[in-house]
Amino acid sequence: MLNSFLDSLIDNGDLYTEALGETAAMVGYSLFFSTIIGLFLGVCLVVLRPNHIYANKTLYHLLNTSINIVRSVPFIIILIAIIPITKWLVHTTIGVKGAIVPLVFYTAPYIARLIESALLEVNPGVIEAFQAMGASRRQIIWKVILKEARPGIVLGLTIATIGLIGATAMAGVMGAGGLGDVAIRYGYQRWEPDVMYVCVIILILLVQLMQSLGNRISKKLRKH
């Protein structure tokens, strides 16, 4: 079995390299846009809640409910349901570009919740101390809440990245490319199990790498 695995790795090296590049592109672009949206939503979820610096009960419940609704929809359904939006935004529904829009829709609310959890870990006493010193609400957000929550934010983004890697593999069902697409087209449809095994191992290695990197960065931030 090991020999057949190595043969597949050598014979299809270019295929795996291309698929890995497509997966990296999907994860990279999706994570970038999802982090921007998720960070904004996560901060809003914290500062709009009752007794916080921008307390607004109506806006908080509206945002909270909307995020819960989107998060409750499985990725495969989002992938199909927003096809018109995807086509309007990127003019295609297949390939790497076609996968980025649904990946952002799927990941941004998830990141928002992870950011919210990290920000809520900040000691309220620290916020109150800065308020007593006359810090503006914007300064409290950027220089207190976000700064203090950096280790938790990094760990949250690490979890989101790992989830994105899994979602890109699922997006292969819709012809998005990447390792998931190779595993389905070659490993399943052409019944070449060695190809599927290689793709699975590459995905496992990617997850391990991302988790180790995230843990290391978070640990370093905690020391500072």
pLDDT reported for residue 200: 85
**pLDDT < 50: residue spans in the chain:** none
Tokens of 3: 């020999």
Domains and CATH numbers, the chain: 2-223 (1.10.3720.10)
CB 26 within 8 A of CB 171: yes
pLDDT reported for residue 199: 84
pLDDT reported for residue 43: 95
Tokens of 76: 């495969």
pLDDT reported for residue 10: 64
Tokens of 204: 């496992």
